[in-house]
Amino acid sequence: MSIPVSGLHHVTAIASNPQKNLDFYVGLLGLRLVKQTVNFDDSGTYHFCYADGRGTPGTILIFFPWPNAWRGGRGTGQIEATAFGIAPESVVYWLERLKQNHVSAKRAQERFGQEVIRFADPDGMPLELVALEPGAEIERWPASSVPVEHCLHGFHSVSAALEGYERTAQLLMDVFGYKLVQEQANRFRFSPQDATGAGRMIDLLCMPDTQRSRGGAGTVHHIAFRTPDDPSQRKCREELVKVGFNVSPVMDRTYFHSIYFREPGGILFEIATDSPGFTADEPLEELGHKLRLPPWMESERAGIELNLPPIALPTKL
């Protein structure tokens, strides 16, 4: 039995200062702000969605920037690092670009034969750039601050820090249909069979002597796996409930539909639909330029806009 998922849909994290977050991910990393909205559960904070030029699943990094958020603590039960893919010939470019913009970055130990650059965002969230030949094409964003030949290729993987990895591995293999493809020391890499596109891999890190994590700015709130549509999501939910997981009802996130549950190591997992996508309420060329609200919040727009801090879209660095 396996449910119809094919890799990562998005990663959602917590930040503090919204302008610094925009400047870093759009201005420095060259991602496109494909949606500027608010947290559907807390309209007093922004909900930024960064991605490739269209918002392709497997490239989407989402932030809740709470200006007064406390700094989170690293440990087990959380995503230890979020990795993007880059072309092998872009390693030197990225090391120099990060240095020029006063971001401390270093070459990490080579992993499964691939070069890795490791650094952190303004809130201390660990990020990695992994050099590999690109797979399926992402939608390049012509207005990016990064030249097209050096742009990020969507997610390479996420690394999950766990006290013990076996039960999470069982979920990935027996329920998600993933397979163990590589292992090195305490790192175990899994990938869905026959999947293409960005975000195919998840690494499980077995870290039994590490303290438990603490949520806050600079940490990943949850990761989402992708499924094509509503019928496939219903199947996912049915199968997860059958094997004993407490799964949320389907929630309408406007640009995708979501279900949530905790995996055995304590990380919040989401399964999100590919449709309807970020062009559901604005044309492709206008993505991210204006604050968009779900229909049930439109009557409150004036008050919401008044309470949000002012922001400006970054210019090229």
| Residue 265, pLDDT above cutoff 70 | yes
In the three-class reduction of DSSP (H, G, I as helix; E, B as strand; rest coil), residue 294 is classed as: coil
**Nearest alpha-carbon partner for 265 in 245, 288, 285:** 245
Q: Which is it for strands 201-206 and 220-227: parallel, antiparallel or unpaired?
A: unpaired
Query: Does 135 score more than 70 pLDDT?
Result: no
The residue behind tokens 């293409």 is 196
Tens digit of pLDDT for each residue in 177-228? 999 999 999 999 999 987 778 899 999 999 999 999 999 999 999 999 999 9
- Whether residue 295 is preceded by a cis peptide bond, meaning omega within 30 degrees of 0, is no
How high is the pLDDT of residue 316?
53
123: left (phi over 0), alpha (psi -120 to 50) or beta: alpha
Q: Establish how many alpha carbons lie within 13 A of residue 75's alpha carbon, considering only the half-sphere containing its beta carbon.
A: 11
pLDDT tens digits along 1-24? 689 999 999 999 999 999 999 999
How much is the pTM? Answer: 0.96
Q: Indicate the CATH number for domain 8-307.
A: 3.10.180.10
